């Protein structure tokens, strides 16, 4: 995955509208530029980029005091909860994304990296937690998402 795609992925995960995504994208680029001298090469460049990008996104969310209660469900949430048979896979996917959007910042980051098919070691390095804790968090996240989607 190229550098721009990594940043876009993080922006999409943490911002609801296009203007916010563009602002976050610029903020991440500036931070990557400023932080580049600190890159020591101990990890893959993409791992370092994810870490910086996620840190910027999470800091930005905290500054704006965005809380879980502020998350808005899709306008067609009732349809998602009671899908038509032919639209079932698409409706389930929308429902899953709505549930993911309600996770904590760290849980969102872990899910995003997991969906990118990153291994536990790389996820741990990017997020700044142990590999064991990544496994524990993934188990808890799966249970939490299952509960949210089935509710």
Domain boundaries, the chain: 1-66, 70-151
At 54-110, the pLDDT tens digits run 889 888 877 775 444 445 545 554 554 454 545 557 777 778 888 888 898 889 989
Whether CATH 1.10.1740.10 fits 1-66: yes
Name the most confidently modeled range: 16-20, 39-43, 62-66.
16-20
Q: Would you say residue 135 has pLDDT above 90?
A: yes
Which residue in 98, 66, 102, 53 sits closest to 79, CA to CA?
98
Alpha-carbon span 31 to 55, nearest angstrom = 10
Torsion of CA 104, 110, 113, 118, to 10 degrees: 180
Q: Would you say residue 32 has pLDDT above 70?
A: yes
Which residue in 6, 16, 19 sits closest to 53, CA to CA?
6
pLDDT at 121: 92
Q: How confident is the model at residue 25 (pLDDT cuts 50, 70, 90)?
A: very high
Pick the CATH number of 70-151 from 1.10.1200, 1.10.287, 1.10.10, 1.10.3470: 1.10.10
């Amino acid at each position: 995955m190229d550098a721009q795609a990594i940043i876009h992925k993080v922006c999409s995960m943490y911002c609801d509208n296009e203007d916010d995504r563009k602002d976050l994208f610029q903020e991440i680029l500036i931070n990557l530029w400023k932080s580049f001298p600190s890159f020591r090469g101990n990890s893959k460049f993409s791992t370092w980029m994810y870490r910086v990008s996620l840190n910027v996104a999470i800091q930005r969310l905290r500054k704006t005091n965005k809380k879980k209660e502020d998350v808005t469900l899709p306008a067609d949430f009732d349809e998602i909860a009671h899908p038509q048979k032919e639209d079932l896979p698409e409706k389930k996917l929308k429902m899953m994304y709505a549930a993911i959007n309600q996770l904590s910042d760290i849980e969102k980051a872990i899910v995003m990296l997991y969906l990118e098919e990153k291994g536990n070691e790389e996820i741990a390095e990017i997020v700044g937690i142990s590999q064991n804790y990544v496994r524990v968090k993934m188990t808890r996240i799966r249970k939490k998402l299952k509960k949210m989607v089935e509710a």
